[in-house]
Structures are given as structure tokens and as C-alpha cells.
Amino acid sequence: MPGSEPAAHCYCGHQFGQFAGQLGDGAACYLGEVRVPPGQDPELLRENPSGRWEIQLKGAGLTPYSRQADGRKVLRSSIREFLCSEAMFFLGIPTTRAGSVVTSDSRVIRDIYYSGHPRHERCSVVVRIAPTFLRFGSFEIFKQADEFTGRQGPSYGRDEIRGQMMDYVIEMFYPEIQENFPDRVERNVAFFREVMRRTARLVAQWQCVGFCHGVLNTDNMSILGLTLDYGPYGFMDRFDPDFTCNASDNSSRYSYQAQPAICRWNLVKLAEALAPELPPDRAEIVMDEYLDLFNGFYLENMRKKLGLLKKEEPEDEILITELLQAMHNTGADFTNAFRCLSQISCPAEGEGEGEEELVKKATELLLEQCASLEELKAANKPTMDPRELAMLLSMAQSNPALFQMISDRMTIARQLDKLSRLKDLMETSQEELKTRQAEEWTRWIARYRKRLAHELDAQSDVQAVQQERVRVMDSTNPRVVLRNYIAQNAIEAAENGDFSEVQRVLKVLEKPFSSQPGLELPAWAGGARSPIPYDSKPPAWAHEICVT
């Protein structure tokens, strides 16, 4: 653009737990900022009080940090980023945005599955928008030599630049902290505490919609607490705490259940990068607050998802844990099962004999979301060859040092757990499984309705309480999320020149909570009464699409 000076951002990062040294935007190009004048667009200013929006092109060509790559992005990865960043926004989760995808007839060669069979793919450019794309790794350019890898940041020793970067970020994006803390050290501590708080809130929101980022390296963590960089992400279908959407993450470091702990680990690395501007002892005190903050945000969201609005009771955590365990044991669809819960009514006074029938109907509703015997067998098939597993188990006993070098106990434990579940399933019939699933859901629903009864204590208008509960639950539990096979179907249509499916998916994602008759949801959109059939999905690799 006339007068512009496009630039690429230099940053470092810890990737899969190891400091990788200098990285930088290998395919993203910063064009400049657009400023929204005060009062012009109140909604935009609420979303971003600074009024400044960075504009990036991703996939437009070479940058100084492209290394051996070509700086281009293909249609496949561009549509995935475009759709998911918009899906997250309409789910109410902080995120960078995608303004558009522009596709050309230019082609590059990509080996999609790293199988030795590359093919030509169409090039695309995503216009990305955010208040800033600065990330934890932006401050790691000042890191001293790493004790494990020996690498150091390219700006090690340039402490004055780090001070300038902190001044810029705090003055521009945390102005209330700049105003309220005249002492520099106290200001920096308050800044780090706010970054920690936003990160804890963000990962709690991810957990509550079943979103798995896939590559939570420090260079993919936003300094503003936004969802940043959409690579091999995935929304869970059936609930699995070990759900890992990145095919190259062999140790499941970035699994669904690991995300809260990984985000904490990344915050510790950010604190190290900010020292001595941020005194380490003060950073440690802040980090001691992380777990309680995360748990608070998570419980707040989960209580809304369960419609527990009037009271906060100690057993709520147990009720939530038992719900997720029931989902895991029965292979229930995460999104659809939560959406079903608003159809379970609060116990009414004098319900008496009808209660058993109500529990039975609620159980039948949730049983529709459960996996079949064959689906559970497939889900619990170990990913490791049995001979390799036997060898590693033997090695763990005979040569622990060598075992530690080539494997880890958590990975082996997960494989053994899958084997145990699979053995049990092999000895179970479909009828026995259905009976077990029904018993498990019946027990949980009875506990849930007992807890709902407490919501009615001292409430004069029971119907109003129930209506409010349903309203909050249906505006918290999405009816649709961007399932991987839906994105894949849209991508395949676009690769054949038909972009209408991308537009159709986007239209549905813009109203994720809607159950209004006026919104025409395609059959694939799912919902509480129309579960996504597992057998309609493409092969397993569709859950593991990696961005080249």
C-alpha cells in the first residue's frame, strides 16, 4: 500500500518444552494499524479499548524469517484458520480475527501427510486482525543461553529494548495499569498478573467448549490472552481427556487435559524472559495464584453450563467431575451432551411417582449421544504396536535410564489404560454396553436433579427459575462447533472451486447457540436431538491435519 513499510516480527519460543532460539514470522507480513476513532464504533472499542487494530497478511510470500520455506500458505490451512478464528469469536472466546481469505491459481508443492507423496496445492492469503500479535515469545528474544539447547535470543543483552517493549505493551494495551502504578516494578508485576489472569480465563474457556489448540508453544501464546495461531486445532467429538489433535505430538504434551498446566508452564517462561524488569520472587508469588484463578473461571463457566445459577455448593466440583467421567465411559458427544442438559427439568414439588419416568426420559436423551460398542473399541485401540509396548515395559524394569531417554511413563500408562479398556470391551456385547451406559447416566442424572432441587430453595417462582436456567444454559452450551470433518468437507469443496460450502459453514458458526426455527441448520450441524453419527466422519487423519 502507498506509504506502508511491511514488516515481519522476530520472536523466539519454547517448542515442545525446548528453547528453539530465533523463530519469527515465516509467512506473516505486518502491513500497519487501523485506528478506530473514539465514539465511532462502541462495539469495536469494547472489544479493544486501544482502538488500534494490526493488519497482517499470512501467506503472502517470503519474509526475513522464512528460513527454508517459501512464505506461502495453501487453501487448506487458510480456510481452517479463517473458519476457526471466526467460530471462536462467535463463541465469545478471545481470539485474533480473520478478515478474509484470498485464493489464487498459483500453486506450491506440499506433502500433506509427510508420506513422501507431495502434491500441488492452491496458494491463499489470510488477512488477520488483532489489537496486537505480540506473544510470549516476543520477549524471549532477550533470553540468555539456554542450559539445555545452548541457544540464546538474538537480542540477548539488549535490556533497553526489552524495557521499551514493555513500556509500549503496557501503555498501549494496559493503560489502567500504567495509570495506577507509578512505581515501575509494581507496574510490571501488575502487568504480569493481568497477563496471567487473562491466560487462565482463556484456557478455562477452551476447556469448557472442548477446544484443543494443538501447539501451545510460547510463540503461540498471546500477550493479551487471545487465541493465537490456528494450526492442528480440534474440537472434541466424544469426550476424551487425552484428546490430542496434533499428529506430531507423540507424547501428548498438548492434549486437552494438559492445556491448563502447559499454559502455566508458558507463563513461567514469560516471567523468566521479563527478568529483571519483573523480579523473579514477585513473579513466583503471582504464579502461585494461577491454579485458583483457573479453577474459579472454570467452575464459573461449568456452573452456567449445568444451570447452577442460584447457589455455589462444594459438591459442584464432584458433580462436574462425575459428568465428565460418565461422558468418557460412555463415549458421549461433548458438545451435544451438554446441550441436552437444559432439557432435564428441575424437580417439582409433589413430583413423587413421576420422578422415575422423568429420569428415564433424561437418560434416553443422553444415551442418544453415546458411542456404540464398535466406536468405543476403535477409540480405545492403542496407538503403539503391542510388541513395541512389551519391549518398553521390559526396558522400564531392566534399563530405566535408557527407558527415560526414549519414552516416558505417562505415555506407557495411557497405552496400558487403552489396552485395559479394549480388553473389557472385547468381552462386552452391545446390549450389555447399553445397559451399563444407561445405569451410569441414570445415577448421574439422579444426583444432578437432587442438586437442581437446591436451586429452588427459598424461590417463590419455580417456573421463572427454570426458564432462566434454560436461557443461560442454551446461551452457554453451543449447539454447533467447528468439527474437523465439517471443515474438511468445506475445504474439499473449495479445492474443487466451490466456495459456497465455506460460506454455509460460516453462516452456521456465526449463530452457535441458536435454536430458533428461523435459522436453517443443515443436517450436519447436529444438536441435542440430532447427534453427529460417528460413522459419517472421514478417516482418522481428518482429526490430525497439520499445517505445513
Active site (catalytic) residues? 219
CA atoms within 13 A on the CB side of 106: 14
CB within 8 Å of 144: residues ≥ 6 apart: 152, 153, 156
CA atoms within 13 A on the CB side of 273: 33
CB within 8 Å of 71: residues ≥ 6 apart: 26, 27, 59, 60, 61, 62, 63
Contacts of 282-290 with CB under 8 Å at 24 or more apart are: 282/185, 282/189, 283/189, 283/192, 286/189, 286/192, 286/193, 286/196, 287/196, 289/193, 289/196, 290/196, 290/200, 290/264
Cβ-count burial of 98 within 10 angstroms (0-12 exposed, 13-18 middle, 19+ buried)?
A: buried
Interatomic CA distance for residues 86 and 157, integer angstroms? 39
Cβ-count burial of 298 within 10 angstroms (0-12 exposed, 13-18 middle, 19+ buried)?
A: buried
Q: With residue 58 as reference, give the H or E element that holds it.
A: strand 52-58
CB within 8 Å of 56: residues ≥ 6 apart: 28, 29, 30, 31, 127, 128, 129, 130, 133
C-alpha cell at 154: 538474538
Is residue 125 a contact partner of residue 73, using CB atoms and an 8 Å limit?
Answer: yes
**Of 79, 56, 69, 339, residue with least CA distance to 233:** 79
303: β partners:
none
35: β partners:
52
Q: With residue 191 as reference, give the H or E element that holds it.
A: helix 184-209
CB within 8 Å of 105: residues ≥ 6 apart: 122
Interatomic CA distance for residues 342 and 456, integer angstroms? 16
168: β partners:
none
CB within 8 Å of 183: residues ≥ 6 apart: none
DSSP letter, residue 306: H
